[in-house]
A and B are shown apart, each in its own frame.
Chain A
Amino acid sequence: MTTVLATELLTVLTLNQYLLVSAVLFTVGLVGFLARRNLIVMFLCTELMFQAGAIAFIAFSRFHLEVSGQVFVIFILTVAAAEAALALALVVLLYRRKETLNAELWSELRE
Chain B
Amino acid sequence: MIPALHNLQFLQPKLLPLAMVDHHHADPVAFPIAHAIEAMSWAGWILWLPMISLVLCGACAALRIRNKLPAIITVLSLAGSFFVTLLLYLNYHEPVTIHLFEWFNIAVGDGNSFVAAFSLYVDKLTLLWMLFVTGLSCLIALYASEYMEADLKSGYARFFAGVSVFVFAMSSLVMGDNLLMLYLGWEGVGFASYWLIGYYYQKPSAVAAAKKAFIVNRIGDLGLALGLYLTWHHFGTIQYTEIFAAIQHGVDAEHGETGGWYIKYIPFMLMLGAFGKSAQLPLYVWLPDAMEGPTPVSALIHAATMVTAGVYLLCRMYPLLEALHPLALPTVAWIGGLTALLAATIGMAQFDIKRIMAYSTVSQLGYMFLGVGVMTTYGGAYHVFTHAFFKAVLFLTCGAIMHGFAGQLDLRKVSGLTKMPGWRIVSWTMFYACLCLVGFPYISSGFYSKDMIMAQAFISHGPGFTALGVIALVTALMTAYYTFRVWFRVCLGPVQYEMGDEHHGDDEHGDDHHGHDKPHAPRWAINTTLLIITLGAIASIVLYYTHWGQDMVAGSSAGGGVPSAHHGETHGFWDDPHTWMPWVASITTVVGIIIAWFFHLAKREAADQLKAILLANPIIRWLPTAMENKWYVDELYHAVIRAPLWIGGHILYWLDMNLLDFAIVDGIAHLPRWLGRAFRPLHNGILQSYAVSMAGGIGLVALLVLFMPRILQWLGGGG
A33 touches B691 (CB 8 A): yes
Which A residues touch B685, using CB under 8 A?
106-111
**Dominant secondary structure at the B interface:** helix
Which B residues touch A109, using CB under 8 A?
685
Contact with A along B361-375 (1 / 0, CB 8 A): 000000000000000
Chain B CB within 8 A of A34 CB: yes
Which B residues touch A34, using CB under 8 A?
688, 691-692, 695
A67 → chain B closest CB, angstroms: 26
Which B residues touch A42, using CB under 8 A?
687
B686 touches A104 (CB 8 A): yes
Given contacts A30-B695, A34-B695, contact A103 B684 (CB under 8 A): no
Could you tell me which residues of chain B, from 639 to 690, have a CB within 8 Å of some CB in chain A? 683-688
Number of interface residues of A (CB under 8 A): 13
Which B residues touch A106, using CB under 8 A?
685, 687
B703 → chain A closest CB, angstroms: 15
Given contacts A30-B695, A34-B695, contact A103 B688 (CB under 8 A): yes
Q: How many Å lie between the Cα of A42 and that of B692 in the bound state?
A: 13
Q: How many Å lie between the Cα of A6 and that of B695 in the bound state?
A: 34
Which B residues touch A107, using CB under 8 A?
684-687
A111 → chain B closest CB, angstroms: 8
Q: Which residue of B lies closest to A110 (CB)?
A: B685
Could you tell me which residues of chain A, from 67 to 111, have a CB within 8 Å of some CB in chain B? 103-104, 106-111
Which A residues touch B695, using CB under 8 A?
30, 34
Q: How many Å lie between the Cα of A106 and that of B686 in the bound state?
A: 8
A49 → chain B closest CB, angstroms: 10
Q: How many Å lie between the Cα of A42 and that of B695 in the bound state?
A: 15
Could you tell me which residues of chain B, from 389 to 409, have a CB within 8 Å of some CB in chain A? none
B688 touches A110 (CB 8 A): no
Q: How many Å lie between the Cα of A30 and that of B685 in the bound state?
A: 19
Q: How many Å lie between the Cα of A74 and that of B134 in the bound state?
A: 108
Q: How many Å lie between the Cα of A72 and that of B685 in the bound state?
A: 32
Contact with A along B289-315 (1 / 0, CB 8 A): 000000000000000000000000000
Q: Which residue of B lies closest to A31 (CB)?
A: B695
Subset of 26 A-B contacts with CB under 8 Å: A30-B691, A30-B695, A33-B688, A33-B691, A34-B688, A34-B691, A34-B692, A34-B695, A37-B688, A42-B687, A103-B687, A103-B688, A104-B686, A104-B687, A106-B685, A106-B687, A107-B684, A107-B685, A107-B686, A107-B687, A108-B685, A109-B685, A110-B683, A110-B684, A110-B685, A111-B685
Taking beta carbons and an 8 Å cutoff, which residues of B are in contact with A?
683-688, 691-692, 695
Which 8 pairs between the two chains have the least Cβ-Cβ distance?
Answer: A110-B685, A107-B685, A103-B687, A107-B686, A34-B688, A33-B691, A34-B691, A110-B683
Using A103-B688, A104-B686 as known contacts, list a sample of 14 further A-B pairs with CB atoms less than 8 Å apart, ordered by residue number in A: A30-B691, A33-B688, A34-B688, A34-B695, A37-B688, A42-B687, A103-B687, A106-B687, A107-B684, A107-B685, A107-B686, A107-B687, A110-B683, A110-B685
